Chain A
Amino acid sequence: MVSTGGDVALMRRRPAVDDLSDEALLNGLAVGEAGMDVAFIRRFQRRVYGLAFNLVGDAALAEDVAQEAFLRAWRHAPVFDSRRGSVATWLLAITRNLAIDALRLRRAVPTDPESLVGLEDDAQGPDGAAVASDAATRLRRAIATLPPDQRRALVLAAFYGRTADEISTSEGIPLGTAKTRIRAGMQKLRLAMIDQGSGS
């Protein structure tokens, strides 16, 4: 994506906050620096709310989950350890776990879990994709090459927190098969990401 005049104007207006890395923003939050909370919300709200909404399927519940995720992230900001992952994945992991919590009593299997990873988006073609989304694009492509049953098991595990045991029950397959689908899916993704020159 090419940078537009609008982007430049925005950066001039709020240079300090918009230029901060995710980690620096979280640090600012942790020490109570003014304006950091708003900047943090604006940077992540679409991803946090989007994940919550797509997992729980209800706007009011999704807002509750998303807000709780932000509040927990703020509470835990002082103990965030950047060596164990990025701020974005950490925040999204909190969101997912709260959403799973909220769904605890609903046992229904999502009808189309694979849509969560947006495989259709690839049809739009690899135009001038931004560098930042490069790893995500490669990961999306790697997932698209997985056998459908492995992909489905992987999404049920990674997004819905379903264990192999739960997938075995909901899909009506042996436990060993459920385990194999998750494990093989992850192995293939890992190899694909290494092959494409991205160990991380």
Chain B
Amino acid sequence: MSGAGHLGRLSCAEVQDMAGEMGVGVLVGIERAAVLEHLEDCGSCRAVVEDMAELGDSLLLLGPEEEPPAGFESRLLQRAQEGGPAVARRRRRVAVSLAGLAVAALGATGLALGLAVSGGSGFQVVPASALHQVGGRKMAVAVLSDHGAAVGQAFLYSGSPSWLFMTVDSEVVHGPVTCEVETTSGATVVLGTFQVGGSYHAWGSTLAMAPDDIKTIRLVDATHRPVGSAAF
């Protein structure tokens, strides 16, 4: 795993020393990657870190309670009703087009970016940003990173439809993640949720907005903790 390489292999003592920071979710970048790498094949450290994570989460239960403003419930139900069907529709469309997209992406990137998709050493080899011409389509590439550590790569293709494709390193990112796009006008659009597993994980989605309007792509985990972002 290239991201953790700078720290080398951590000992159990080092990992358990870092477990407290890990437990409150503030261990980031290469340190986090190195700990996760160690946990892959160390059950006793995994138990300590899980314990710490549970403890860190339970701290939130001590937070103060407050009565929400009047009308909170009805406003929330209203928002849920407006947002619900739109989200469901978007998800279905993503699901049916996903297989085709992945094939198309592997085809297109296979020409210019074979190294990135097939794994190996590297995310850094691909120049970030700037729209390039690839097979008559405009394409942009950016490294997905978490506090300086590369966790994957995102590709933007403009066409009809335009779409986003990404590879995510499953050694660093685990479980279900949600992909959000921040547009140049400051709006946040949720593209979809997918499960990261296996080796490099690939995922794609069609875009309702123009690729030029995309400022940042963010991946968040099930607790909305950012696990990676890419700027275009």
Contacts and interface: CB of A to CB of B under 8 A. Distances in A.
Given A164-B26, A200-B54, A47 B63 contact: yes
Most buried by A among B25, B26, B222: B26
A116 B64 CA distance: 6
Interface in A142-200: 143, 154-155, 157-159, 161-164, 179, 182-187, 189-190, 193, 199-200
Contacts of A182: 20-21, 24, 26
A45 B73 CA distance: 8
B75 interface: yes
B101 interface: no
A71 B66 CA distance: 19
Contacts of B73: 38, 41-42, 45
B59 A158 contact: yes
Most buried by A among B63, B83, B175: B63
A161 B223 CA distance: 13
A186 B79 contact: no
A63 B68 contact: yes
Interface residues of B, number: 52
B72 A97 contact: no
Contacts of A97: 220, 223-226
B54 A140 contact: no
B64 A50 contact: yes
Contacts of A54: 63-64, 66
B210 to A, nearest CB: 25
A89 B57 contact: yes
Most buried by A among B52, B58, B176: B58
B76 A67 contact: yes
Contacts of A200: 54
Nearest to A95: B60
A140 B62 contact: yes
Contacts of A94: 223-224
B49 to A, nearest CB: 11
B56 A163 contact: no
Nearest to A101: B224
A190 B55 contact: yes
A186 B24 contact: yes
Interface stretch (A8-16, A20-28, A75-83): A75-83
Interface in B8-29: 17-21, 23-28
A90 B83 contact: no
B176 A79 contact: yes
Given A63-B69, A139-B59, 11 more contacts: A41-B76, A45-B73, A63-B75, A75-B193, A90-B222, A92-B61, A97-B220, A97-B223, A139-B58, A158-B59, A163-B147
Closest 10 CB pairs of A and B: A186-B20, A50-B66, A183-B20, A89-B57, A93-B223, A49-B68, A92-B60, A50-B65, A97-B224, A51-B63
26 contacts: A41-B72, A50-B64, A50-B66, A59-B69, A76-B178, A79-B193, A81-B175, A85-B54, A90-B223, A92-B57, A92-B61, A93-B224, A94-B223, A96-B60, A116-B64, A117-B62, A117-B63, A136-B62, A154-B24, A157-B26, A158-B60, A159-B59, A159-B63, A161-B26, A182-B26, A186-B24
Interface of B: 17-21, 23-28, 51-69, 72-73, 75-77, 79-80, 83, 87, 147, 175-176, 178, 190, 193, 195, 220, 222-226
Interface of A: 37-38, 41-42, 45-47, 49-51, 53-54, 59, 63, 66-67, 69-72, 74-76, 79-81, 85, 88-90, 92-94, 96-98, 101, 116-118, 135-136, 139-140, 143, 154-155, 157-159, 161-164, 179, 182-187, 189-190, 193, 199-200
